[in-house]
Amino acid sequence: MTTAASKADSCNNLALRKAARYLGATYDKALAPVGLRATQFSILQQLSVHEEMTITALADVIAMDRTTMASNLKPLAREGLVTVETSKADRRARIVTITPEGLARMKAALPLWNEVQTRFEERFGAEDAARLRGFLEAVLGTGFEPWAE
């Protein structure tokens, strides 16, 4: 018979969220000197690669719902790190572009991110970290997308 305690101990969601909070706080603390949170850094990093994206495409790449992405973009836009403008091709779409200031902030944050990334991989193991990223990526391939329902 399954007890409530054993169910709690085997909860995939709780285990993932605990690890995410732990790692998220570690990355947030490391990036604080440049005034970024880990999610903001990830957004700027994606935009530095793609230059511009629709809010929807950016949300998809980061596995975030569009509304939450739009909320995360507001402080970045206020600080002049990104611009959010209506698409000329599709007036319903909003295009996000990294600014020169955003690129400079992301580049300033990169050594801090690299340091915490390296420390984590040294303690957790580089091969285990790579496997963990693979497992987490596989979770995204399960087709379970609650925000899309």
Is residue 118 assigned to a domain?
yes
Number of domains within the chain: 1
Model pLDDT, residue 8: 67
Model pLDDT, residue 6: 64
Q: Which CATH number covers residue 46?
A: 1.10.10.10
Is residue 81 assigned to a domain?
yes
Is residue 140 assigned to a domain?
no
**37: domain range?**
26-122
Is residue 137 assigned to a domain?
no
Is residue 10 assigned to a domain?
no
Burial 89-127 (b: 16+ CB within 10 A, else e): eeeeebbbebbeebeebbeebbebbeebeeebeeeeeee
Alpha helices in 10-54 (DSSP H): 12-31, 38-50
Model pLDDT, residue 93: 87
pTM, two decimal places? 0.85
Is residue 86 assigned to a domain?
yes
User: pLDDT tens digit string along 68-109?
Assistant: 999 999 999 999 999 999 988 788 889 999 999 999 999 999
Give the pair of three-digit tokens for residue 82.
């990104």
Q: What is the pLDDT along the chain (149 residues), one digit of tens a residue?
A: 456 656 667 898 899 999 999 999 999 999 999 999 999 999 999 999 998 899 999 999 998 999 999 999 999 999 999 999 998 878 888 999 999 999 999 999 999 999 999 999 999 999 999 999 999 888 887 776 555 55
Is residue 101 assigned to a domain?
yes
Give the pair of three-digit tokens for residue 118.
């390296």
